[in-house]
Structure 1
Amino acid sequence: MTAGDRLRYTPGQLDRNAPFYVAGHQGLVGSAIWRKLEASGFRSVVGRTSRELDLKDRGRVFDFFHEVRPRYVVLAAAKVGGILANTTYPVDFLSDNMQIQVNVMDAARKVGVERLLFLGSSCIYPKFAEQPIREDSLLTGHLEPTNDAYAIAKIAGILHVQAVRRQYGLPWISAMPTNLYGPNDNFSPQGSHVLPALIRRYDDAARAGKSTVSNWGTGRPRREFMHSDDMADACLHLLEHYDGAAQVNVGTGSDITIREVAHAISAIVGYDGRTEWDVTKPDGTPQKLLDVSKLAETGWTSGISLEEGLERTVAWYRHHVTTVRT
């Protein structure tokens, strides 16, 4: 509990009939949460596409909340991307995410949303944080420069949640997922994260019969990967079992090198060519492994192995290859 946070709230099963708004319901995380909520019996799950509701438009966001009056909210909407996108458009990643977060949380607070779960990212932690990264590592060191703008926006979101708890007494919480992947991910060569980018690259190479695939960096950085369906399960669990001002790390508790995951993906898609590593390109943070002991204390652990998750994601990508976000 942070200084000044004296909120007392007992978590329990959420009302399956109450309006539940999932911001960003068509994205990687939001769509997984939507599937989880429907499978868990929620009967009034609400979503709006970005065309229907621009979350950067403050007036329209407030109008939406006054109309729907959700009792629960998961804030999964965000502008996201990999190293290339973050380094090329830092203003967009900072400004867009700050506007989305502030508008949604201010509107949610105005109508008295009971439970709000804000989703951040493991990039909020210092570049050289002690591994595995504990929640109290936040704001103890310098951020990774390739995604510092995005990280600052997410840190602001955590502080916003904590401020609402202190000032308004609403039992809102934050969760910081590790690197996520799964259905409805962004597979764009320019805008995607490392795992969907690798899936597309190797699958394209296998289809085209290419002899060589080139990846950024050395391949030595270690990353923790979690399937979005696992993340969705953890989100509902936290809403029903956790209350506190501190953010909760959500991950699998194990990591793998980029080289190793590239090899695993190439095998799954059936690519038998050569992989080269462009060491002139940045690696990013050397390691990001989350300490998930706080999450485990609430009674939840990851249930989808990386091998199973990769196979499922490759199969989904191939089935939707003509319609995926590119």
Structure 2
Amino acid sequence: MNKNARIYVAGHRGLVGSAIIRRLETEGYTHLITRTHSELDLTDPHAVTHFFSVEKPEYVFLAAAKVGGILANQTYPAEFIHQNLMIQTNVIHSSYVHGIKKLLFLGSSCIYPKMAPQPIKEEYLMTGPLEPTNSAYAVAKIAGIEMCWAYNKQYGTHFIPVMPTNLYGPNDNYDLETAHVLPALIRKFHEAKTNNAESVTIWGTGKPKREFLHVDDMADACLHLITQTDMTNDNETLFNIGTGYEISIKDLGELIRNIVGYKGKIIFDNSKPNGTHRKIIDVTKIKKTGWSNKIKLSKGIVSTYRNYTQTQ
């Protein structure tokens, strides 16, 4: 991409979108296009069409989505499938109509079958049943992937779907009812330290393992793929983006406790669910393009905790 290329980042206030903005600015890209939800409702096809005709972006990062935790997905499945399908359909179709050079579509690792072999390879997509608690969201994201592939095949577009692992970093969600495990633990340990609490309780046994990628590494991967990927002979490309490294919830808790400086005990509540025992994605394909993550988990948590304390 030229440094003065017109680049639209949809969802620029979110965890991933804001990281992409930071990375593009660091690299010297000068013509970044953004809109808040109040300025542009991406579920409105007429508004999206008008936006593309006026702004004429050349590249698109589609990071906008309705997201939430297990409770939200179970409570509002209709909203999750409807809003995400509308956002994707409007942005992807307008990108085709207005001749976008490349689009990068962000999905989620929840698209893969619940019982997929580990590590999860891209080719495992649609080979088994989904996790029931977020199947509506997952189906919407799968439709986005298929839409990218269909437009590539029929119209010769360059639309690249990517599947990130669990992300963390600046602008994360720290609401204990809706947050993912890593930001939730940062808040729990920080508040326990501040309040001199004797212990912090973590759900489950601590044995399940998870993979975590700093969002700045995610932004780096997105920029790498949109600038480097040649799709001339590959209409159905798909890239997992992760670290290839997993850590148990128990070890993650110990790591965060040490970084926060909390001296109390950790209690594991065995009456609470563990969730899936393992969920790690295979990153062989993206590594073959020359990309790999740079931010180690401990360093990433240190910077994330610093950012959290500065925003409280």
TM range (shorter): over 0.9
With the length of structure 1 as denominator, give the TM-score of the two structures: 0.91
* Match in the other structure for 1:112: 99
Deviations 1:143-180 (A, max 9, x none): 12222222111111110100110121101111111100
* Match in the other structure for 2:112: 125
Structure with the larger RCO, 1 or 2 (CA within 8 Å, 6+ apart): 1
* Match in the other structure for 1:262: 253
Amino acid at match of 2:268: W
Deviations 1:161-218 (A, max 9, x none): 0011012110111111110000011111222222111111221121112222222333
1:297 pairs with 2:288: yes
1:139 pairs with 2:158: no
1:315 pairs with 2:298: no
Residue 278 of structure 1 and its aligned partner are, at CA, apart by 3.1
Residue 108 of structure 1 and its aligned partner are, at CA, apart by 1.5
Residue 135 of structure 1 and its aligned partner are, at CA, apart by 0.5
* Match in the other structure for 2:266: 275
Deviations 1:14-66 (A, max 9, x none): 12212100001111100110111111121101111112212122221111111
Aligned partner of 1:92 among 66, 70, 79: 79
Partner Cα distance (2:211, 2:271) in 1: 24
Q: Which segments of 5 or more consecutive residues in structure 2 lack a partner in the other structure?
A: none
* Match in the other structure for 2:169: 182
Aligned partner of 1:172 among 143, 159, 176: 159
Residue 275 of structure 1 and its aligned partner are, at CA, apart by 2.3
Partner Cα distance (2:273, 2:73) in 1: 12
* Match in the other structure for 1:210: 197
Partner Cα distance (2:82, 2:270) in 1: 31
Once the two structures are overlaid, the 10-residue window that deviates more, 143-152 or 244-253, is 143-152
Residue 81 of structure 1 and its aligned partner are, at CA, apart by 2.2
Report 1:196-275 matches (<5 A).
Answer: 196-242=183-229, 243=231, 244=234, 245-275=236-266
Contact persistence 1:174–1:248 (CA under 8 A): yes
Amino acid at match of 1:250: I
Deviations 1:123-149 (A, max 9, x none): 111112111111001011111222222
What is the total number of aligned residue pairs between the two structures? 308
Report 1:13-28 matches (<5 A).
Answer: 14-28=1-15
With the length of structure 2 as denominator, give the TM-score of the two structures: 0.95
State the Cα RMSD in Å.
1.4
Distance 1:156 1:60, change over 3 A: same
Contact persistence 1:21–1:46 (CA under 8 A): yes
Partner Cα distance (2:212, 2:152) in 1: 31
* Match in the other structure for 1:76: 63
Partner Cα distance (1:173, 1:105) in 2: 11
Amino acid at match of 1:191: T
Contact persistence 1:83–1:284 (CA under 8 A): no
Percent identical among aligned pairs is 52
1:149 pairs with 2:149: no
Partner Cα distance (2:128, 2:56) in 1: 39
Deviations 1:49-94 (A, max 9, x none): 1122121222211111111110000001112222333233322222
Q: Which segments of 5 or more consecutive residues in structure 1 lack a partner in the other structure?
A: 1-13, 322-326
Contact persistence 1:144–1:284 (CA under 8 A): no
